[in-house]
Amino acid sequence: MALRLLQANLNHCARAQDLFIQSLAQWSIDLAVTSEPYLVPDRNNWVGDLNQLVAIYAGGNPPIVSLRRGRSCVGVKLSGIALIGVYFSPNRSLTDFEEYLDEVSSFVQWGRPLAVVVAGDLNAKSRAWGSSVSDSRGEVLLSWMAQHNLTPLNTGSVHTCVRMQGGSVVDVTLASPALACRVRDWEVLTEVETLSDHRYIRFDILPSSTPPTSRSTVTPPEFGRMWSLRSLDREAVELAAIVGTWSYRMENKDVDDG
């Protein structure tokens, strides 16, 4: 059976978390990642990072077989999948972001050889995952993705964070190419109330026996190589990631996020 995943940023809001937990039950969610939870429930099916800034929910089927906690990142291993939840504050420096990605790298290596999913709010913008602009964090993240052979699951240019002054696409879902081709119905839920300034993201992962789809062509062979962040042609990698993954909308205006 397919696994249904839900992704959110609850903005440390108690009411938003109550609604999120209700949605987990209502939609029969198997796995979920939330950045900035109000709190991490003291239950066996919830795992939080060391800073309580990101949490993973696992419904129990499949069960968690291994877990790992870090600072602003947390990972669980399940049957055939390693899910890594991440969060990076918009108020920290680019150097901090590069150091943070080093820690996330250790989680990716820990998760392999299983198929890897990295999900959360990294406050990084790139046209590769639907933003109308690219910033420095987005360029660094794109290079990091190439280094670890991860491809964005984000499709379209619908804002994942919406505020009065505009919106942006800062909540990302990244995956190993072999898993990316099994993803169905990745969607930003624009019509669902979250009581947060971030929208939910929901998608399904089909069993590994599922025939691959056109998404398997999104990641070019170059993504499988190990690149030096200094020598990487970021523009070429960005263009490769863009092709086939989203439909650009000029009318969307990006703003800073949280």
> Could you write out the DSSP letters of every residue in 75-120?
EEEETTEEEEEEE--TTS-HHHHHHHHHHHHHHHHHHTTSEEEEEE
For the CA atoms of 247, 249, 250, 251, the dihedral, rounded to the nearest 10 degrees, stands at -170
Question: For residue 201, what are the CA distances in angstroms to 83, 147, 180?
Answer: 15, 25, 15
Judge whether 202 and 4 are in contact, CB under 8 Å.
Answer: yes
Could you give the 3-state DSSP secondary structure of residue 212? coil
What type of residue sits at position 43? R
252 has a pLDDT exceeding 60: no
pLDDT tens-digit map of 218-242: 343 333 333 344 444 454 445 445 4
pLDDT at 250 over 60: no
| The pLDDT of residue 135 is above 80 | yes
How far is 187 from 204, CA to CA, in rounded Å? 10
pLDDT in tens, 37-79: 999 999 999 999 999 999 999 998 889 999 999 999 999 999 8
Q: How far is CA 14 from CA 21, 128, 196, 221, 253, in A?
A: 11, 33, 10, 44, 29
**pLDDT value at 151 more than 90:** yes
* Domain regions of the chain by residue span: 3-242
**Residue 195: other Cβ atoms inside 10 A:** 14
Residue in 124, 134, 147, 156 with CA at minimum distance from that of residue 35: 124
What is the helix (H) or strand (E) element at residue 245, kind and residue range? Answer: none
Does 174 have pLDDT greater than 60?
yes
The pLDDT-based confidence of 214 (bands split at 50, 70, 90) is low
For the segment 194-207, what is each residue's pLDDT rounded down to a tens digit?
Answer: 999 999 999 999 99
- The CATH topology of domain 3-242 is Deoxyribonuclease I; Chain A (3.60.10)
Q: Which residue has the higher pLDDT, 239 or 216?
A: 239
Measured CA distances, 139 to 51, 229, 256 (Å): 26, 10, 16
Distance CA 111, CA 197 (A): 31
Residue 70: C-alpha distances to residues 16, 53, 57, 59, 147 (Å) = 24, 10, 16, 22, 21
Cα–Cα distance measured from residue 199 to residue 193, given in angstroms and rounded to the nearest whole number: 8
pLDDT for 122 beyond 70: yes
Which tokens in the block code for residue 96? Answer: 């901090």
256/19 Cα distance (integer angstroms): 25
